Amino acid sequence: MTGVEQKIVAESEQDIRLDRWFRSHYPSLTHSQLQKLLRSGQVRVDGARVKASQRLATGQVVRIPPLQQVKSRMSARELSDEDKNYVRGLVIYKDEELIAINKPAGLAVQGGTKTTRHLDGLLDGLKFDLLERPRLVHRLDKDTSGILIIARTRPAANWLGRELKSKAVKKIYWAIVSGVPRQAQATISIPLVKKGQRGKVRVCPAAAGEPGSQSALTHYEVMEKAAPDMAWLAMMPVTGRTHQLRVHCAAMEHPIIGDGKYGGSGAHPGGLISTLLHLHARSIEIRNPNGRTIRITADLPEHMKKTWRLLEFDENVPDPQFPEGWALEN
């Protein structure tokens, strides 16, 4: 590119987030680079400043500044065979519309400051028989392992994004927490709010009516317990707030083992238990774009398998059904 470019949002891109639109059109542009362009006003939509989360409408005009001097970190180069084999080895489900991977703990989904190796930079390795680059439709924390859904085409990304936004998707997470919750089955209803400056943002339980707060709802069931020290929880987030499960568990005073950000000293029991985060996206039930409901399950990462063996928990038990009517209020 030698100058400013104006691109019109296509009909097939209706309601897509701006950052995802950029990943589709400019895959070599990292998330942090896009954020800098947005903060400086170099990227605009219909002449107005916008955020990365802005959803686009058909016919809107996106202003793109000259990008020839914006250096890509990873995705601009051709992936090595080693990288391709690595990311393809994470695949646990694939059809014509979507791919599911079992993301390992420690692999970031997107790049940022000091993060040069990330899933977004490896997506070219998941093209398989298509020319189109796959697209991320949701995220997991860097230290959280488990199922991550990736759309294989732009229409599939639009469909899956709407499904996730409508809460039609059922996701089950497994965690080991410190102590044993008083209620074996409950719903945590504690609103959350982000506090702090860029780079040091922390999610906290919110006071009633606190500006910027968002409702957050999590069902949980105690699957097994090693009383009084630890318990295995299955959790289903009804809402999808940042760090929701980690903050909700900490708010119950039963932080997730290995959660140094929110758990404090209670998150590190010592002994033979790994200090890595014990939070795993275990299963997902989702409709693919042809309307067929699929259910995918991801094996535990090795550090959690070790804990299951140590505590003599059976990882082959079925997930709970989470009936309505449980209540644990803020």
Residues 6+ apart with CB under 8 A from 211: 193
Cβ atoms < 10 Å from Cβ of 39? 12
Let me know: does 152 contact 98? Beta carbons within 8 Å.
yes
Q: How long a stretch of residues is the chain?
A: 330
Q: Is 125 in the same domain as 236?
A: no
- Summarised one tens digit per residue, pLDDT across range 45-100 is 999 999 999 999 999 999 999 876 554 433 445 788 999 999 999 999 999 999 99
Q: Is 117 in the same domain as 258?
A: no
pLDDT above 70: residue 294 = yes
Last residue of a domain, one of 145, 165, 185: 165
Task: Tell me which of 19, 141, 143, 259 is the catalytic residue.
Answer: 141
Average pLDDT of the residues of the chain: 88
Q: Is 41 in the same domain as 131?
A: no
Last residue of a domain, one of 165, 187, 206: 165
Q: How far is CA 82 from CA 88, 89, 116, 296, in A?
A: 10, 10, 16, 26
pTM of the model: 0.78
Q: Is residue 108 part of a domain?
A: yes
User: DSSP letter string over 273-327?
Assistant: S-SS--EEEEEEEEE-TTS-EEEEE-PPPHHHHHHHHHHT--TTSPPP---TT--
pLDDT of residue 270: 81
Q: Is 179 in the same domain as 312?
A: yes
Query: How confident is residue 324, by pLDDT bands cut at 50, 70 and 90?
Result: low
Please choose, from the candidates 251, 273, 129, 108, the residue with its C-alpha nearest in 3D space to the C-alpha of residue 190: 251
- CB neighbour burial string for 111-137, b if at least 16 within 10 angstroms, e if fewer: beeebeebbbbbbbbbeeeeeebbbbb
Q: Is residue 39 part of a domain?
A: yes
Supply the CATH number for residue 53's domain: 3.10.290.10
- Summarised one tens digit per residue, pLDDT across range 216-261 is 999 999 999 998 899 999 999 999 899 999 999 999 999 999 999 9
Q: Is 122 in the same domain as 194?
A: no
Q: Which residue range(s) make up the domain with 247?
A: 170-329
Name the residue type at position 115.
T
Supply the CATH number for residue 154's domain: 3.30.2350.10
How many domains does the chain divide into?
3
Q: Is 177 in the same domain as 134?
A: no
Q: Give the H/E segment covering residue 35.
A: helix 31-39
Q: Is residue 70 part of a domain?
A: no
Structure token digits, residue 299: 């094996």
Q: Is residue 308 part of a domain?
A: yes
Structure token digits, residue 7: 């691109």
SS3 269: coil
Query: How confident is residue 111, by pLDDT bands cut at 50, 70 and 90?
Result: confident
| Residue 299 annotated in active site | no
Q: Is 201 in the same domain as 306?
A: yes
Task: Return the top range by mean pLDDT from 26-40, 114-128, 177-191.
Answer: 177-191
CA angle 254, 208, 330 (to 5 degrees): 30
SS3 135: strand
Q: Is 241 in the same domain as 255?
A: yes
Cβ atoms < 10 Å from Cβ of 328? 19
Last residue of a domain, one of 126, 150, 165: 165
Q: Is 145 in the same domain as 175?
A: no
